[in-house]
Chain A
Amino acid sequence: NAGVTQTPKFRVLKTGQSMTLLCAQDMNHEYMYWYRQDPGMGLRLIHYSVGEGTTAKGEVPDGYNVSRLKKQNFLLGLESAAPSQTSVYFCASDRLAGEGDEQFFGPGTRLTVL
């Protein structure tokens, strides 16, 4: 059981470049989330998904897009990267949002936009 995995672990982009972050989970979880973590701000929810084929906006969705074509995968895309998107990105999953279920986190992707 690998849990939640994220690819890549590190990435450096130039302003205006695009990239996709991949999150995969092998726990058959329905819910998946993308967060960004910035110093002093905790984790902020970017987008989330309540099941295959569904996505929804979180607290800070601007500049990002997501897709959930398969239940086990949740992709986060940056179409035109900006320095403000320099951050550490975490993916998480759980069986059922709320209901006291814990979220399981991936190891993170550190993104730098120059």
Chain B
Amino acid sequence: AQSVTQPDIHITVSEGASLELRCNYSYGATPYLFWYVQSPGQGLQLLLKYFSGDTLVQGIKGFEAEFKRSQSSFNLRKPSVHWSDAAEYFCAVGGISSASKIIFGSGTRLSIRP
């Protein structure tokens, strides 16, 4: 069965510190992988996506993610967080199929300590 697991419900980091949000997926074929961000009271916005090529993907707002097939992981990273990064982050997986849909993880809430 297809699934996405985000093991961390809530993470707090200090402003300026590095960040890594974990994502593990289960998918029967080559997956498309996404990270979305949701600011309070807003809809979701795409940060980055991966579907082939270089396993290190650059996204908006200084975020990057690395696809590791052997670990079924797609962790999101940022070298130095800013207070404006406080939000909820969702990992998602999709596939190649006219009937396929994106499956979302349960989300990780990021808080920034001043």
Which secondary structure dominates chain A's binding surface?
A: loop
Which range contains the number of A residues in contact with the other chain? 20 to 34
Task: Tell me, in angstroms, the Cα distance from A4 to B41 when the chains sit together.
Answer: 15
| Residues in chain B near residue A102, CB distance under 8 A | 34, 46, 49
**Looking across the interface, which residue of chain B has its beta carbon closest to that of A50?**
B98
The residue that B104 contacts in the complex, of A4, A42, A97, A99, with Cβ under 8 A, is A42
B: number of interface residues (CB 8 Å):
26
A-B contact count (CB 8 A): 59
| Residues in chain B near residue A74, CB distance under 8 A | none
A-B contact pairs, 17 of them (CB 8 A): A4-B43, A41-B106, A42-B105, A42-B107, A43-B90, A58-B101, A90-B44, A97-B98, A98-B32, A98-B96, A98-B98, A99-B96, A100-B32, A102-B46, A103-B44, A106-B43, A108-B42
Spell out B's residues near A (CB within 8 Å): 9, 32, 34, 36, 41-46, 49, 51, 90, 94-102, 104-107
**10 shortest interchain CB distances as A-B pairs:** A105-B43, A98-B100, A100-B51, A42-B106, A43-B104, A102-B46, A105-B44, A42-B104, A100-B32, A107-B43
